[in-house]
Amino acid sequence: MNTLDYIIVAVYSLGFLGLGYYFQDQKDGKDYFLGGKSFGWLPLGLSIMATQLSAISFISAPAFVGMRANGGMEWLTYEFGVPLAMIFLMVVLIPPLYKSGVVSIYEYLERRFDASSRLLLSAVFLVNRGFSTAIMVYTISIILESVLGISFWSTLLIIGVITLIYSFQGGMKAVVYGDMIQMIILFFGIIACMGYGLHHLGGWDNFMANVDQTRLDAVDFNSYGFAQGEEFGFWPMLLGGFFLYVSYYGTDQSQAQRMLSAKDMNTVRKTLLFNGLVRFPVTLTYCIMGLIIGTLAFTTPEFLAKIPEGKPDRMIPIFISDYLPHGMIGLLIVAILSAAMSSLSSTINSLSAVTMEDFIDRGKKMDAQQYMRISRLTALFWGVVCILLAAVAGNIADTVIEAINKIGSIFYGPILAIFLLAIMTKKTHALGANIGLLTGVLLNIALMQFAGDQIFWIWWNVIGTIVTFVVGFGVSLLIRRESKFPLDFYIDWKKLSQAESILLIVFFVAIIVLSVSIGQLLM
């Protein structure tokens, strides 16, 4: 990096500090955590996309496609479950949560069951989301330190302190509109990397002449994920991905909070439709970027020699530092920082919301001024916690990053089942739900310990959901207790025939066909 690159990073950083200052006036908790329910579908959709397209995705997904052993365009199979998950969220999960008026989605569980279900899931969210986000920040900081000459502490402070300040001041409005800007910058960065990669390869035809043809295969209909080495098959990625995305978007506070911030349910549906339609093209774009840069690495000995063995994640940062002109390097560093800051800002706001709603203000009625003061203090607290965890992650990061996806799949299915029991059944009571949750989680832990090589981890999302639902409902039928069902809601299955649902189904079929034929299309 030279002076121009540092100026670009500095201007970007100052701009986001100004963003937090601009949105610093909030009247109450719903204004701070939900932006006063004033958002339209485009800012919410871009905000969700920015959080999904994290710094890890920008660096690791292209490395998986272009360089990792046994990698390739099969990364696209992660997206197969998204359109169907968006339909399920529109019809079943989000409407009752939005209608209930909650800030923390876990409050819904206390209204339906009791405080134990609410506090248990809230605590799990706080620990898991805070820890995983800290590891993400650590990983990005250490990668940038190792290949771009930016010190670890400089990167950590840029990501952590600036994000903390604008999240602390501006609340959800700063998070959402900041994410919009970051998403645009990040996508521009992907396009820039593609363009410069093709330039250094000598054009598209030369790229296709040298690309590893085995990496163009995206869909494997013969891999079911029930034997060692069977991963990323069509059925496990479709079914497991469906349950994973329904749980992540619908029962994880960091994502569901965006839906609760929409100005009405029509906006929620448009936001989900946008996400269901746009995720795949964005993923396809950075997968092709990975193919291009990976091909450049394998055909350029000096480039390949700089990538440490067993660490393909270094591919994108090395490409940025060695193959892009100054000024563009600064913009791409901003893109990586944008992705990291997007994930961290969302985490800070959602951790603060859950802490306030589920623990500090639960059962109380604070006045607006006191609520806002403590809310900002909790945001500050969680921001500092994430930064400190990132600073001390050190030796555990290389193993924990890979484990985080598996650990998430231990909990996503059972947590989803609890919400489905709350919404779709009337006879389920708190004891049954809690026993079901415990059973599902323990079963998934056992699968990880004793069958991790035989059952692909994405199946744990399906298994955990089914087992938790069946046990929770069954226990409630066997052990009769009073079941609270105070919320006026029923599932309108006719919504499956709405235009949004039909469009998403058509799009689902289209991305399957495109993925199956991606090799021929690229040629």
Q: How much is the pLDDT for 399?
A: 37
Structure tokens belonging to residue 105: 């989605």
Residues 171 and 31 sit within 8 Å (Cβ to Cβ): yes
Structure tokens belonging to residue 361: 């203000």
Q: How much is the pLDDT for 80?
A: 96
Q: How much is the pLDDT for 401?
A: 46
List, run by run, the mean pLDDT of 10-residue segments along the chain (523 residues). 84 80 70 82 88 77 88 93 96 91 91 90 87 81 76 84 79 82 85 95 95 94 88 93 95 90 92 95 95 96 91 89 90 82 85 92 83 90 89 52 70 94 91 94 93 90 97 94 69 81 96 94 83
DSSP type of residue 494: G
Rounded Cα–Cα distance for residues 389 and 130 (Å): 9
What's the pLDDT tens digit per position in 405-419? 777 888 999 999 999
| SS percent in the chain: helix, strand, coil, step 5 | 80, 0, 20
Tracing tokens 């994880």 back to the chain, one arrives at 252
Residue 483: count other Cβ atoms within 10 Å of its Cβ: 16
Instruction: Tell me the three state secondary structure of residue 262.
Output: strand
Structure tokens belonging to residue 31: 């204004």
Amino acid letter, residue 256: A
Q: How much is the pLDDT for 86?
A: 96
Q: How much is the pLDDT for 393?
A: 64
Residues 125 and 354 sit within 8 Å (Cβ to Cβ): yes
> Residue ranges per domain, the chain?
3-522
Among residues 39, 23, 45, 55, the alpha carbon closest in space to that of 166 is found at 23
Residues 63 and 215 sit within 8 Å (Cβ to Cβ): no
Q: How much is the pLDDT for 131?
A: 81
Q: How much is the pLDDT for 394?
A: 53
Q: How much is the pLDDT for 27?
A: 66
Going 309 to 312 to 314 to 316, the CA torsion angle's sign is: positive
Residues 50 and 237 sit within 8 Å (Cβ to Cβ): no
* Residue 128 CA neighbour count, 13 Å, CB half: 21
Residues 449 and 135 sit within 8 Å (Cβ to Cβ): no
Architecture of domain 3-522: Up-down Bundle (1.20)
Going 227 to 230 to 232 to 234, the CA torsion angle's sign is: negative
Rounded Cα–Cα distance for residues 44 and 263 (Å): 10
